[in-house]
A and B are shown apart, each in its own frame.
Chain A
Amino acid sequence: MGNLSKSGFSMFGFTVFALALAAGTALAAGSATEARAATGTSSLNGTVTFDGTAPAMQKIKMNADPACQQQHKDPVLEESMLANGGKLQNVVIYIKEGIAPGTYPAPKTPVVLNQTGCVYQPHVFAIQAGQPLEIVNNDPTLHNVNCQPKLNKKFNIAQPTKGMKISKSFDQPEGISFKCNVHPWMNAHAVVTTNPFFAVSDANGSFSLANLPAGTYTVSAWHEKLGAQTQSVTVADGETKQVSFAFKAAQ
């Protein structure tokens, strides 16, 4: 009953449908930039490596929906394990402990999750609790965004037409997934953090957390298939420390 004011299907619903301010840029970078003002001078740089043979990524059966297939000349591969020459891509690196939640207000710049060519872009990202997430459908077909987190509010909403946007945010730090039931290969993963210090490893497995204040942190690295690892790291003001994570193929 207390949810009366929280439903948008009603007359009294809250307007979460504030339309997009501007198309977002690179999300992790964007939010880190915003947080820069109030932060320190330390950095954590590093790489994520993968030991073992990565399975070959399957071709996506795009012919399930011609609206998807028409957008791709070449076969599209899955993205769940991208390990190029021992470097692991799409690992979220973030400060798990060492910064009290609430120290850094959530940026207002939205993280943008695109659905383009029936693939989520980006496939993996991080977002600070309270930061808006803008989900955009760039395809001339229906996508539904099905998000069933454990701690945050679940949602499953449809975007039937090209150009539709919705804005959501998450309150609790946790790992969450997005899925489209119309195109079952479509999934995206995100880590909700309590602070703006996070990065996603690139194709070379490298990442950088800049503008950290000096301190001792638990740094976590999370991969959708391989799980999470943590390290304790201490940095001083102005210091740039190298941190590396090594994942092994699941047995």
Chain B
Amino acid sequence: MNWLPPNVSSYGHQVDQLFWVIVWITGFFFFLVQGVLLAFVLIYRAKPGKKAQYLHGNTLIEVVWTAIPAVILLLLTVASQKVWAEIRYPRFAPATSLQIELLGEQFVWNVRYPGPDSQFNTEDDIATINQLHLPVGVPVLVHVKSKDVIHSFFVPELRIKQDAVPGMNNEVWIEATQAGEFEIRCAELCGLGHYRMKGFVKTEPLIDFEAWLRETKANE
């Protein structure tokens, strides 16, 4: 089933896996509760001469239905934590030499590559508006920032969402696994142009990516 858009990120499959595990677990409880509810309503409809059972509870079954969900949720928390730590804990972030500054502004994404000197805000920077290119197979550290109000960097296919908050430098890493063209969708209400604060993502082989950087610089 393709409820989710295709995944092109290195950690996306872990997110998707977790998503599907939750689909199965919640799906089971969904059908259990709806089924039981419907069955009881049909079976135990009031009939003349039939009295309801005078019953206040049952400790054993109450313990069981407390413990089982608790255990499942605990396991789910552990599994989620593993993926969460891998994606977001700085100590698990892969070493990378490629950094990008993504500066949100009402209503565009300012993209800045540090250029050969690896320093931002120098002469050899490469800057674009709304055009984010990423090399395939190379982890990239993205500095998500904002000039004015809060925005959110969301690329569904890369399974990434990171708010851009003024006054903060939020670092996230992503690694594209396939070439393709995608959209940045702003995911935090930022004003009247929020709905089309749209960026364009192109993931491409490293050689093409570097050629694009040179070309963009030459075109400035």
Direct touch of chains A and B (CB < 8 A): yes
Which residues in A have some Cβ–Cβ distance to B below 8 Å? 58-59, 61, 63-66, 141-142, 144, 156-158, 181-184
A158 to B128, CA, bound (A): 24
Question: Of the 9-residue stretches B6-14, B45-53, B104-112, B160-168, which lies at the interface with chain A?
Answer: B104-112
Cβ distance B146 to chain A, nearest Cβ, rounded Å: 13
23 contacts between A and B (CB under 8 A): A58-B220, A59-B219, A59-B220, A61-B131, A63-B128, A63-B130, A63-B131, A64-B108, A64-B128, A64-B129, A64-B130, A65-B130, A142-B193, A142-B196, A144-B107, A144-B192, A181-B106, A181-B191, A181-B193, A182-B107, A182-B108, A182-B197, A183-B108
A225 to B197, CA, bound (A): 29
A217 to B194, CA, bound (A): 48
Contact A61 B129 (CB under 8 A): yes
**Interchain residue pairs A-B with the least CB separation, the first 6:** A64-B129, A64-B130, A158-B192, A181-B106, A61-B129, A182-B107
> Which residues of B sit under 8 angstroms from A181, Cβ to Cβ?
105-108, 191, 193
The number of inter-chain residue pairs (CB within 8 angstroms) is: 43
Chain A: which residue is nearest B197 at the CB level? Answer: A182
> Which residues of B sit under 8 angstroms from A64, Cβ to Cβ?
108, 128-131
A58 to B129, CA, bound (A): 14
> Which residues of B sit under 8 angstroms from A65, Cβ to Cβ?
130
Pick the most buried of A63, A64, A66, A184: most chain B CB atoms within 10 A of its CB.
A64
- Residues 194-220 of B contacting A (Cβ, < 8 Å): 196-197, 200, 219-220
> Which residues of A sit under 8 angstroms from B200, Cβ to Cβ?
63, 66
> Which residues of B sit under 8 angstroms from A183, Cβ to Cβ?
108
A237 to B36, CA, bound (A): 98
Cβ distance A176 to chain B, nearest Cβ, rounded Å: 19
A65 to B131, CA, bound (A): 9
Chain A: which residue is nearest B130 at the CB level? Answer: A64
Which residues in B have some Cβ–Cβ distance to A below 8 Å? 105-108, 128-131, 191-193, 196-197, 200, 219-220
Cβ distance B157 to chain A, nearest Cβ, rounded Å: 19
20 extra interface residue pairs, beta carbon distance < 8 Å, beyond A63-B128, A142-B196, A158-B192: A61-B131, A63-B129, A63-B130, A64-B128, A64-B131, A65-B130, A66-B200, A141-B196, A142-B193, A144-B192, A156-B192, A158-B193, A181-B105, A181-B106, A181-B191, A181-B193, A182-B108, A182-B197, A183-B108, A184-B129
Contact A182 B129 (CB under 8 A): no
Cβ distance B104 to chain A, nearest Cβ, rounded Å: 12
Given known pairs A59-B220, A181-B106, A182-B108, the reply for A144 and B130 (CB within 8 Å) is no
Pick the most buried of B105, B128, B192: most chain A CB atoms within 10 A of its CB.
B192
> Which residues of B sit under 8 angstroms from A157, Cβ to Cβ?
192
> Which residues of B sit under 8 angstroms from A63, Cβ to Cβ?
128-131, 200
> Which residues of A sit under 8 angstroms from B196, Cβ to Cβ?
141-142, 182
Chain A: which residue is nearest B109 at the CB level? Answer: A64
> Which residues of A sit under 8 angstroms from B108, Cβ to Cβ?
64, 181-184
Chain A: which residue is nearest B192 at the CB level? Answer: A158
A26 to B193, CA, bound (A): 30
A221 to B200, CA, bound (A): 42
Cβ distance A177 to chain B, nearest Cβ, rounded Å: 16
A79 to B88, CA, bound (A): 44
Chain A: which residue is nearest B191 at the CB level? Answer: A181
Cβ distance B98 to chain A, nearest Cβ, rounded Å: 21
Cβ distance A180 to chain B, nearest Cβ, rounded Å: 9
> Which residues of B sit under 8 angstroms from A184, Cβ to Cβ?
105, 108, 129
A64 to B196, CA, bound (A): 12
> Which residues of A sit under 8 angstroms from B192, Cβ to Cβ?
144, 156-158
Cβ distance B86 to chain A, nearest Cβ, rounded Å: 33
> Which residues of B sit under 8 angstroms from A158, Cβ to Cβ?
192-193
Contact B219 A144 (CB under 8 A): no
Contact A182 B193 (CB under 8 A): yes
